[in-house]
Structure 1
Amino acid sequence: MSRPELPPLSTLLPFEATVRHASMTRAAQELHVTHGAVSRQIRNLEKALGTRLFERGPRALRPTPGARRLAAAVRDALDVIEAAAREVSGRERDTGPLALSCEPTLLMRWLIPRLPELASAHPGLTVHLSAGGGPVDFARDPVDAALRRDDFPVPAGTHRVALFEEWIGPVCRPEAAEALLAGAPVTLLHTATRPAAWADWRRLTGGSPSVAGEQGFEHFFLALQAAVAGVGVAVGPYALVHDDLVRGQLAAPYGFVPDGTGYGLLTARPPERDPRLAALLGWLRERAAELNPPRALVS
């Protein structure tokens, strides 16, 4: 069957990889070919289509809007072909363990304590966890999905499903909450991984606790643990202090406000195409409701 409008098939893999990486060099590395080979295929595709697909700058390679649309269609077609090939070959990859990367503090303080619930809800699902943050390159990183805060641009070709908003507020030991509200000086806890936490809260609320001292920690979960231990007051996202509030180990005297960010599940392909991802996403959506503060804690 003749398909005169179909571009040369040999050009599509290098083209899609180049759009996804915004780099011919990285596309060549992924495909295990030379930069020149990728460049030739891109020129062949542009010649076949009669249009330029990239804006070439001195330090950047930017796909045109048309190139992005074509690359998305190529990715969808490759997903369909890959699924059919697995079915025909009998090598169903979607039945093995699911590799999930998660923001470290969310992993430690929320997800790990709920793994027994996930196992009970989906006994056939095995999840291998790793800690990580920031963008994910699914062609390079050995993960199937990533639970991330949306504080960075989502890479082209990556699917994102929103799960819950980020709500922040000062948290401290319950016995310190009354003194804090009365204006007593307190120790502010800071973290290198979220250095603007207190500034963000002040900007959103206009609040300004009286400061007796300040103490810094390298990681966010250390600052929150210090708050649980009574060292001082930290700005804590509700999702990360939910369990401490329920257990009565922390109090939130000023309540919580949304900071404009949120968490989502990142995947290389639509989750509904992988039974493991669909199961995980369904469970996360069910549990996400508890990660929005109750009315009494909304300031």
Structure 2
Amino acid sequence: MRRGFVPHADNLLAFECAARHGSFTRAAEELHLTQGAVSKQVRQLEERLGVELFKRVRQRIVLTDAGRLYLHDVREAIEHLTDATRQVMSFGGSADVLNLATLPTFGTKWLAPRLASFHRRYPQASFNLAVRLRPFDFAREPFDAAIHYGEPVWAGGICEPLFAEEVIAVATPAYRDHHGLRMPADLNGVVRLHQSTRPLAWKQWFEAAGVDSNTAFQGPRFEQFGMISQAAANNLGVALVPRFFVAEELASGRLVQLFDTSLSLPSAYHFVYPENRTIRPVVAAFRDWLAEEAGNGGATGRSARQP
């Protein structure tokens, strides 16, 4: 039944290409076919579906409503097949490929700088890293494991804690000096940068500092910590960020921690892997290495040990 409903791949590729270019001729150039061959493949697809996908208007083709609807799903299916093919090709006959979903700033600022350490320990391993912002179903996504921030809850997954965040207020030395920031209460009068998924963070920081603030929720909001740290480094305001995300900026002096007050949040980073799947050696090795790195000053941003 399923095979009977799936059109020929060449027909689908011709349809997607013609729709993208709005032209059979330009699609033919991309596919290295004749214009007549592309037109024939699209016509075969229309006959199979029993609907018209394009209106032929003089020398132009215009998608019908059915064509626009079908194009969305066809394009998504082609992208999925392309990604799956690249992923399989990356194996190169090896079982030591780790497919990991990670959070964007964590992957950039904490994980990526440490991966050379894992590669020295496990030189036959290779990586496929992709960004996922929310928990997903391991049965539907091509990942061996994931990095998760929040409570240790993931349907169908085993969560192993890495570390919690130590959140600090940072700014450039120039911004600090220009605004005379000498005590936590001074932050009431400057621009404070917010992470959109942590709406209570500044309120909690002021409470930890013993400061009353009626403006704790005011200020620009950003979706990722990487955006906030860059904005702070360019003198937009004061950022409230995990220490390890700005470890390099603190070490170089581009940013400074303004006060001793820090905020420890109840949520934490976790390494997650499927509970109903036999853990492969490369995943087990990565889990053990990650636990060591997390214990080796992970939350403070200290760099990985050298061999």
TM-score over 0.5 (shorter chain): yes
Instruction: Name the SS of the counterpart of 2:219 in structure 1.
Output: strand
Amino acid at match of 2:163: F
Cα distance in 2 for partners of 1:193, 1:284 equals 25
TM-score, normalised on structure 2?
Answer: 0.57
Deviation readout 1:128-171 (Å, 9 max, x if unpaired): 1011122231111111100111247322x311111111111211
Residues 175 and 276 of structure 1: CA distance in aligned 2, closer, same or farther (over 3 Å) = same
Residues 169 and 216 of structure 1: CA distance in aligned 2, closer, same or farther (over 3 Å) = same
Cα distance in 2 for partners of 1:125, 1:291 equals 22
Residues 149 and 231 of structure 1: CA distance in aligned 2, closer, same or farther (over 3 Å) = same
Residues 283 and 116 of structure 1: CA distance in aligned 2, closer, same or farther (over 3 Å) = same
Conserved? CA contact 1:192–1:220, under 8 Å: no
Structure 1 window deviating more from structure 2 (179-188 vs 228-237): it is: 179-188
Conserved? CA contact 2:96–2:124, under 8 Å: no
Aligned to 1:161: 160
Instruction: Name the SS of the counterpart of 2:191 in structure 1.
Output: strand
Amino acid at match of 1:163: L
Conserved? CA contact 2:98–2:144, under 8 Å: yes
Matched, 1:129 2:136: no
Aligned to 1:290: 297
Conserved? CA contact 1:194–1:220, under 8 Å: no
Cα distance in 1 for partners of 2:171, 2:221 equals 15
Give unmatched runs, 5+ long, in structure 1.
1-92, 295-299
Aligned to 1:14: none
Aligned to 1:181: 182
TM-score, normalised on structure 1?
Answer: 0.59
Aligned to 1:172: 171
> Of 226, 232, 237, which aligns to 1:221?
226
% identical equivalent positions: 30
Amino acid at match of 2:144: D
Matched, 1:195 2:202: no
Residues 292 and 99 of structure 1: CA distance in aligned 2, closer, same or farther (over 3 Å) = same
Residues 202 and 151 of structure 1: CA distance in aligned 2, closer, same or farther (over 3 Å) = farther
Amino acid at match of 1:225: Q
Cα distance in 1 for partners of 2:162, 2:135 equals 17
Conserved? CA contact 2:243–2:299, under 8 Å: yes
Aligned to 1:100: 100
CA-based RMSD? 3.0
Instruction: Name the SS of the counterpart of 1:143 in structure 2.
Output: coil
Amino acid at match of 1:173: T
- Paired residues for 1:1-299 under 5 Å: 95-151=95-151, 153-155=153-155, 157-177=156-176, 179-182=180-183, 183=186, 185-207=189-211, 214-255=219-260, 256-269=262-275, 273-288=279-294, 289-293=296-300
Instruction: Name the SS of the counterpart of 1:254 in structure 2.
Output: strand
Give the number of equivalent residue pairs.
201
Amino acid at match of 2:95: T
Cα distance in 2 for partners of 1:209, 1:112 equals 37
Deviation readout 1:221-247 (Å, 9 max, x if unpaired): 211211122221111012322232223
Cα distance in 1 for partners of 2:288, 2:221 equals 37
Residues 233 and 270 of structure 1: CA distance in aligned 2, closer, same or farther (over 3 Å) = farther
Give unmatched runs, 5+ long, in structure 2.
1-92, 302-307
Deviation readout 1:74-110 (Å, 9 max, x if unpaired): xxxxxxxxxxxxxxxxxxx982411111111111222
Residues 94 and 243 of structure 1: CA distance in aligned 2, closer, same or farther (over 3 Å) = same
Cα distance in 2 for partners of 1:241, 1:186 equals 20
